[in-house]
Amino acid sequence: MALLKLLRHARSYGVRSAATKALAVFPAYIGKIYLWRLRRCGCCERLSIFLCNGTSAEFRSCLFCSANERYELLAAEIKSTIGSGLSEKDILELDPHSPLKNIFVAARSYTRSFYDSSVRPGTVRDDGAVCQDITALTFADNSFDLIVSSDVLEHVPRLDRAFRETARVLRPGGAHLFTVPPRPITRARAEVVDGKIQYLLPPEYHLDPLCPEGILAFWDVGPDLPRLFGSAVLDIRTIRGPVGDDGRVVWIAERKLVKE
């Protein structure tokens, strides 16, 4: 567990609760100590120990900022393609506690969002994060130059609406950079019909710090994503990777420039 996560837990639930949580997860990390790594983090750029409590790079994270392989992959793409140009960008990130915030502090504006179905969209929390639904954003048209999300879109029931909203709030030439767990093909795993979840494939739940029981994956996303969800407005393609044992890539959904 990263130090920042422990500090957030302590602020929310108290030092005793944070200590109890740390003691509970510590054995799993010690059991995988042979998978720990010492190197410089691609997000916070500190020399760090990358702790691990699982079997893949997804479970290896920076001690200081909690970045794992997919966040470092996003960081590398952002630094490479935007770099000092961040000062001219308005950015929306679909993650209230992302390690990328260390990079985005240089942006012209940086909006962090979270999703909670019980909270009114547009509500701002005490920490400054705003409640948003990617399928029905509260922002005006042409509000952002860049949207970033990491392993979010596979949990959205209506992926078509998510990409439609992406195109709406991006400025021409703007982009949504995102990661999703790689799969051989794109297919719906579940759908919502009359307010109820209908399973098309065996339920698959992913780890989520805000949801102890995990969060349901509605989609597998594969290389055929552009054919299924690309449009005359949005160009979807991979832009970095694959890397690592999982074959992680960074996707881009870029709003096309309007031709005169």
- Give the CATH number, domain containing residue 182: 3.40.50.150
Is 86 inside a domain boundary? yes
Instruction: Give mean pLDDT, residues 215-243.
Output: 97
pLDDT of residue 14: 65
CB half-sphere exposure, 49, CA atoms < 13 A: 12
Within this chain, do residues 32 and 77 fall inside the same structural domain, yes or no? no
Cis peptide before 242 (omega within 30 of 0): yes
pLDDT band of 86, cuts 50, 70, 90:
very high
Structural domain total, the chain: 2
Is residue 212 scored above 80 in pLDDT? no
Q: Which of 47, 67, 87 is the last residue of a domain?
A: 67
Residue of higher predicted confidence among 220 and 5:
220
Task: Tell me which DSSP letter residue 216 carries.
Answer: E
Beta bridge partners, 93, equal: 112, 148
Residues 98 and 74 sit within 8 Å (Cβ to Cβ): no
Q: How confident is the model at residue 11 (pLDDT cuts 50, 70, 90)?
A: low
Position 239 scores a pLDDT of 97
User: Looking at the structure, do residues 31 and 123 belong to the same domain, yes or no?
Assistant: no
- Burial class, 156, CB count within 10 angstroms (exposed 0-12 / middle 13-18 / buried 19+): buried
- Across all residues in the chain, what is the average pLDDT? 90
pLDDT of residue 144: 98
Residue 176 lies in a domain: yes
Confidence bin at 8 (pLDDT 50/70/90): low
Q: Are 99 and 81 in contact (CB under 8 A)?
A: no
* Same-domain check for residues 42 and 92: no
Residue that finishes a domain, picked among 39, 67, 95 = 67
Residue 40 — pLDDT band, cuts 50, 70, 90? very high
For residue 57, what are the domain limits? 3-67
User: Which among 240, 260, 234 has a CA at the least distance from the CA of 164?
Assistant: 234
Query: Above 90 in pLDDT, residue 91?
Result: yes
Q: What pLDDT does residue 260 have?
A: 40
* Residues 53 and 112 grouped into a single domain: no
- Assigned token pair, 186: 């794109």
Count of beta carbons in the 10 Å neighbourhood of residue 42: 19
Residue 78 covered by a domain: yes
Question: Is residue 260 in some structural domain?
Answer: no
pLDDT of residue 18: 47
- Domain assignment present for 100: yes
139: phi > 0 → left, psi -120 to 50 → alpha, else beta; which?
beta
- Pick the last residue of a domain from 67, 91, 119: 67
Percent of the chain at pLDDT > 90 equals 78
Residue 53 and residue 133 in one domain: no
What's the confidence (pLDDT) of residue 27? Answer: 74
- Contact call for residues 252 and 177 (beta carbons, < 8 A): yes
Q: How many Cα atoms sit within 13 Å of 122 on the Cβ side? A: 5
Contacts of 76 (CB under 8 A, 6+ apart): 42, 240
pLDDT at 3: 53
pLDDT-wise least confident of 78-87, 176-185, 203-212: 203-212
3-state secondary structure of 27: helix
pLDDT digits (tens, 9 = 90+) for 94-108: 999 999 998 999 999
Instruction: Identify whether 83 is part of a domain.
Output: yes
What SS3 string covers 125-172?
CCCCCEECCCCCCCCCCCCEEEEEEECCHHHCCCHHHHHHHHHHHEEE
Please indicate, yes or no, whether residues 32 and 13 belong to a single structural domain of this protein: yes
174 with 147, same domain: the answer is: yes
53 & 81 share domain: no
State the amino acid at position 171 in one-letter form: R
Q: Choose between 208 and 201: higher pLDDT.
A: 201
Q: Are residues 98 and 45 located together in one domain of the fold?
A: no
Judge whether 53 lies within some domain: yes
| Pairwise CA distance, residues 222 & 181, whole Å | 9
